[in-house]
Amino acid sequence: MTIDLTGRSALVTGAGSGIGRAVAVVLARYGARVAVAGRRADALEETARLVRDAGGEALAVPTDVSVEADVERLVDATVAAFGGLDLACNNAAIVGPEGAITDLTAADFDLTMGTNLRGAFLCLKHELAAMADGAAVVNVSSANATLPERGAALYCTSKAGLDMLTQVAALENADRGIRVNSIRPGFVVTPMHDGVLESIGGATPENVAMIEGMVPLRRRADPEEIAEAVAWLCSDDARYVTGSMLTVDGGISISPGG
User: Which residues belong to the active site?
Assistant: 141, 155, 159
Question: From CA 235, how far away is CA 135, in angstroms rounded?
Answer: 9
Contacts of 106 (CB under 8 A, 6+ apart): none
Question: From CA 19, how far away is CA 8, in angstroms rounded?
Answer: 20
Give the SS3 label for residue 244.
coil
Give the SS3 label for residue 185.
strand
Name residue 127's beta-bridge partners.
Answer: none
Do residues 230 and 185 make contact, with C-beta atoms less than 8 angstroms apart? no
Tell me which residue of 116, 173, 188 sits closest to 145, measured CA to CA. 116
Do residues 243 and 170 make contact, with C-beta atoms less than 8 angstroms apart? yes
Question: From CA 118, how far away is CA 104, in angstroms rounded?
Answer: 19
DSSP conformational letter for 26 = H
Largest CA distance in the chain: 51
